[in-house]
A = this chain, B = another copy of it.
Amino acid sequence: MSEQVGFVVWMTGLSGSGKTTLGIMLEAALRARGLRVERLDGDTVRQGLSRDLGFSKADRDRNIERVGFVAKLLARNGVAVICCFISPYRAARDQVRAEVEHFVEVYCDAPVEACAARDTKGLYARAFAGELADFTGVNDPYEPPLCPEVTLRTAVETPDESLQRLLAALSEHGLIPVEARG
């Protein structure tokens, strides 16, 4: 097997836009191809890396900075890193991009109403009711990517359609082998 090229797939979008769902599916698909994969998401990272941080802009930026540091180290050692973070601020994402050789920004683009409709934890309801401060898309800003490598319309595509488009994009960028077709 030739040495694997490391890269970072950065999933950004509102809460409920499908980042983690697709991240998990992508992780499985890449592992099935024999790649080394590490998936970083809010839960794991806020436990091991960012227990001290909240959701102010400064804290969100710091969280993304730390995640970017970890992703960079993993990617330059040949790991496929999947990062699933709301990461609402463009500058913070662009800073990670600047640090990483192969960076694929994936915008999970879904209207806030669609995200709220499938919000199992009831967070949007609480945010709309004014009970949650700093909730991205409701009372805190989200800055969409200007030139993402991939845009997934997760409110209209099925998860499997999104996954196939994502895999196709990674092939086009030469980061994973093109799937053999029989």
Interface residues of A (CB under 8 A from B): 36, 38, 48-49, 51-52, 62, 65-66, 68-70, 73-74, 77-79
Closest chain B residue to A37, Cβ basis: B77
Q: Give Cα A69 to B50, complex, Å.
A: 11
A11, chain B: closest CB distance, angstroms: 18
A66–B69 CA distance with the chains assembled, in angstroms: 11
Copies of the polypeptide in the assembly = 2
Q: State which of B48, B49, B51, B74 has its C-beta within 8 Å of the C-beta of A77.
A: B74
Q: Are A38 and B69 in contact (CB under 8 A)?
A: no
Determine whether the beta carbon of A66 is less than 8 Å from that of B49: yes
**A38:B73 contact, CB within 8 angstroms:** yes
Q: What are the 5 closest A-B residue pairs judged by CB atoms, nearest first?
A: A48-B69, A77-B79, A36-B77, A49-B69, A70-B70
Report which residue of A69, A73, A74, A78 has the largest number of chain B beta carbons within 10 angstroms of its beta carbon. Answer: A73
- Which residues of chain B are within 8 angstroms of A73 by Cβ–Cβ distance? 38, 70, 74
CA distance A80 to B170 in the complex (A): 27
Known contacts A66-B66, A70-B70, A70-B73; is-contact A78 B48 (Cβ 8 Å): no
